[in-house]
Every structure is written in C-alpha cells, then in structure tokens.
Amino acid sequence: MSDTEYIIQALRDADKKVYSYQCPYLALAEVVGYTSPYAVHSLPSSFTRLSMRKLLLTCGINNRKLSRMIWLMVENGRSLSWIADYIELRETLKSIKASLK
C-alpha cells in the first residue's frame, strides 16, 4: 500500500469516528496511532495541539505539502471523507496525465 493509499484509508476510517470524538484531528490521531482519546481525557494537561505533520510522521509519511493541504481543508470545514475523495481524485488524474505522455 502506498503512502497516499494509506492516508486515504486513514482519513475514511477517521471520518467514521469524528462524531464520537467531536474532533477530526483526534479521530485521525487515534486511527494512525499517534494518541488515544483515553490519553487525552485522562491527562488533559499534557495534551498539546495536534499537528497534521506530526500525525503523518507517525505513519512514516514525510510530505509537507500533503500535510498542509489536509490541515487547510480541515480548517475550512471539509469532512475527512471529502478530503480522502479529493486526494484519491487528484492521484487518479496524475496517473491519467502520466499515461498520456
């Protein structure tokens, strides 16, 4: 599974948990294994701002452009499933463009 495919799947899985956690960042952090909601609720004083870049680095993905794009879309109110669909469409268009060359 490529990095992009992993992120798409993680975003879709996290979208299913957003309503129970009330925070898209926390849902994504739980899916990728960065932190758990239990840790945040039990030790709120040690909880700091979640960085999208740190979340992706937890998965081994070091892509500043992708992390910034996801962060901006979340901040602009897009759902995690919408972001996953957008990234998937973008990758499909890239592969089509590459095959036409």
50 secondary structure, DSSP code? P
Q: How many CB atoms lie within 10 A of CB 68?
A: 12
Rounded CA-CA distance 7/70 in Å is 10
pLDDT for 47: 66
pLDDT for 45: 65
35/11: higher pLDDT: 11
The mean per-residue pLDDT over the stretch 84-100 comes to 94
